[in-house]
Amino acid sequence: MKLKKLVMLSSILLGLTPLCLGQNIKGSPHDFTRNTASNSSGELCIVCHAPHGTDATAVPLWNHGTTTQIFSTYIGYKFDALPSITAPDGASKLCLSCHDGVSAMNQFGGHANGTSAPGPTYLGVHASNLGIDLTNDHPVSFVYNTALATLDGALKDPSTATTSLGGTIATDMLDINSKVQCPSCHEVHDQTIYRFGKISNAGSALCLTCHNK
Whether 73 and 85 have beta carbons less than 8 Å apart is answered as yes
**Closer to ligand HEC by Cβ: residue 102 or 155:** 155
* Contact positions with ligand HEC (CB under 6 A) in 73-102: 76, 78-81, 91-92, 94-99
189 interacts with ligand HEC by CB under 6 A: yes
- Pick the closest to residue 180 from 149, 154, 213, 203 (CA basis): 149
Considering only residues 140, 170, 190, 193, which one is a binding residue for ligand HEC as defined by CB under 6 A? 140
211 interacts with ligand HEC by CB under 6 A: yes
CA distance 40 to 33: 7
30 interacts with ligand HEC by CB under 6 A: yes
**Closer to ligand HEC by Cβ: residue 10 or 150:** 150
Buried b (16+ CB within 10 A) or exposed e, 153-176: eebbbbeeeebeeeebbbebbbbe
Considering only residues 66, 186, 190, 193, which one is a binding residue for ligand HEC as defined by CB under 6 A? 186
CA distance 124 to 101: 5
Query: In the complex, what is the shortest distance from the CB of residue 6 to ligand HEC, in angstroms, rounded to a whole number?
Result: 32
CA distance 40 to 18: 29
**Closer to ligand HEC by Cβ: residue 25 or 102:** 25
Considering only residues 50, 58, 105, 170, which one is a binding residue for ligand HEC as defined by CB under 6 A? 105
- Pick the closest to residue 175 from 201, 140, 150, 212 (CA basis): 140
147 interacts with ligand HEC by CB under 6 A: no
CA distance 104 to 64: 10
How many Cβ atoms are within 10 Å of 39's Cβ, its own excluded? 20
Contact positions toward ligand HEC, by CB under 6 A? 23, 25, 29-30, 44-45, 47-49, 60, 64, 76, 78-81, 91-92, 94-99, 105, 123, 126-128, 130, 138-140, 144, 148, 152, 155, 169, 173, 180, 182-186, 188-189, 195-196, 201, 206-207, 209-211
